[in-house]
A and B are shown apart, each in its own frame.
Chain A
């Protein structure tokens, strides 16, 4: 399952050989640990913004070495581009060229984060042009980053600012190893909702989280990650997966709830378990999903219907139950897929279900917000799991090496980290969005 190629080209004799032959060398990604630094070096802030000073103060309070001017030759761990006040594409030049000059100083695993505003239909044409242009520039920059460094952006919608809770939450997420496999992506801060945790080491402390499909793969990793972040986890899976489910539950100190998410009463049983056994329900991760791949010409009703039933219909039904209960501050994070964005041969059914998740999340945002909650989704790209290990080697290697900017498949923990962030109170202002965790794969770009 592990990517042997990545190991070979990054160690010892084979590393030298790979260099000599000019083989693609996927970098080792900087991943999160409770005690790892937020950034691997100082952060340089380029550009101006009304609240730039406040932002600098916050970053200093996070223990970062914040530079407002490029000071000579020192290495950089991060770069923040304040682009939210630009009003014409001609204004981009100075900042982008300054960024270009700073790129050489970035250490492996560095982060570039842009801050901009959304391009809207009623903007002045020049304003919309520069804002949309930033989107293109940052996505291109993502493809130019090396050594596991990434480039992502924060978009400030409405009256939000860079010091809005979810803007700071998104900034920390992009800075930290939690976003190791997130590249070339934007998060839009829509409201002032949300709050940063008291303790960044335990952002989910005191929360009760339910993870469906938690027995193995990405679901098990989500359970581990949420527990590490301080949540009490309820692990849900089919009775057939009960033994694997119990193992994960006993690792993370959670409780098991064996049920089929397509059952009519699944939502009620999940809510009942969380409330009676743990006192609240704060986060639901709709991770349970199946694939029944077949070219559409050969598709049968059983394959199509089961995928829709598990991957999207069950979520819609459970969400109705949660909404009716008006659980205060409930956060829901769903699993979408880049297949639902870009399409994938043999996956019309799966892509319909995963595209469905993206639509559901967007359309449910206001409903969850009524009780102070939110709903978001994560769309994983190529993730190294038991499921993807079954893909033929050639296809797998292409999926890992050629397509994503980061030249490798992601790990289940990369998806789990994004879910942990989106499920936290710091992400409340990001309600309704789908975040891709795909290493900036070409697929669905």
Chain B
């Protein structure tokens, strides 16, 4: 799972424009899913094709989070997200009649500030889109694309840029390991009744570049994590939100863990352990224990910004703390998303996303 289900929430919110009714929106959306392609196990992912859009599916996203530091060692977080949502199945209609809607989120987090921006675009006219080869995802002047200065490097060398009120960033990304297929060879189950998505990640990006913050240039470098996910099945109506972690261990290992909170009390938990060599191991529900620690008032809600996270099979027992507890994305569908650090059995940093609070 990844934060990107937020796309569904956001678009559900758009469709009804009554944020309080967001969860109810899923029933309606579920009905409309007929006509779209469904995620089924056993279908191998193909690259670079799957970096591009999947118009047969209802929703998908391109997503990057990065933990960075400046010369003085101060922590920064950066987010870049592009969602596509088809409002009706079938071949994309030309021009303004296109059923695709694109949504971009960008954010920059420091210990004292959390800046974000949101932008929307209709499909069909060129304001936003994604091409697989060469890879290029864009909305307005935000881009996430293959590095033109490194031809032939494919998806291992990318550039990313975005801007918003008070910030503007441009970074280079480089990875030396192949992408990680989440779940069962990229088929990622999301609920006990079989809802699923296709999901792969590139958690091994090194990132560096320049952030302009309130007009001041800051050189930053660090680690980044990219997610790609596509699906046609919304969450179950009883699934009210989620908590999702992407963690970079100081050893070079990576961990992705999520929990879908269910009204019935039976949460859905899953994850993937990725060794420093890229070897991966899927984690089951009972292997993962997530305990909220620090209920904190954020933007009029109470959000657990600190967690105790245990993965028994890997001997992991850590506690996370946010770089900035107020990493609140007050976008169309608001959520908490920001950089974190963790200590305990292991050390490292990563990103946390929490929705439905």
* Co-complex (A, B): no
